Amino acid sequence: MGTSGPAAIIPGPRWFQYTDPDLECARLGSGTHLAHQEVTPFVLENVGEFDLDRASTLRSLFMKLNTGLKSRARTAMQRLGQARLRRGPADTALEVAIALEALLVDSPGEHTFKIGLRAALLVSNDLEQRRRSRAIIEAMYKIRSSLMHSGQSSDTCKVRGYGDLKTTEIVSEAMGITASVIQRVIGFGTTLDWGAIELSSPA
């Protein structure tokens, strides 16, 4: 699955044939068909090796979640998968924002602040890494807002504490952070108490 590595999931063709030759002759239509995919990329980039063991472990943990959390995690994974297929960084940012909000928002208001903080707390125990993760998520939201309000985004965006970075680099890093968030939430196996987590430093 796309959450276990920087990989996009593309459905391949399926083929069906009856072993009984009479049934096969009586069947109408072709045995080969393709599943429709809402977002289809123009090209597939080489993103490195896929961690099959991690994917298997994540799947097992996902299946143990309660219905509500499983639904939210599924939405987050689907949106992250679509983010990996998008061409424009602003469109990618939009998908990533939905993925994060599905898991990290429990009340209205101040989404950028809450999601940046909560994502940073989950992905690392290192203070500098938390600072960067929060800054990247905040910048990603700027890119998303630019798309929603003006219909476009610039090639660069200011990242708090790190200067101007390319939007492509920001959304790419944001996708990695989002994958880590999804993995951690699924690993916890239960709905998180953000009131307690925000006042502590979870391991």
Q: What is the pLDDT of residue 175?
A: 95
Q: What is the pLDDT of residue 26?
A: 74
Please identify every stretch of the chain with a pLDDT value under 70, giving residue numbers as ranges.
Answer: 1-13, 15, 28-48, 201-203
How far apart are alpha carbons 24 and 178 in whole angstroms?
A: 47
Q: What is the pLDDT of residue 52?
A: 84
pTM score, whole prediction: 0.79
The tokens describing 73, both together, are 């995690």
For residue 159, list its beta bridge partners. 163
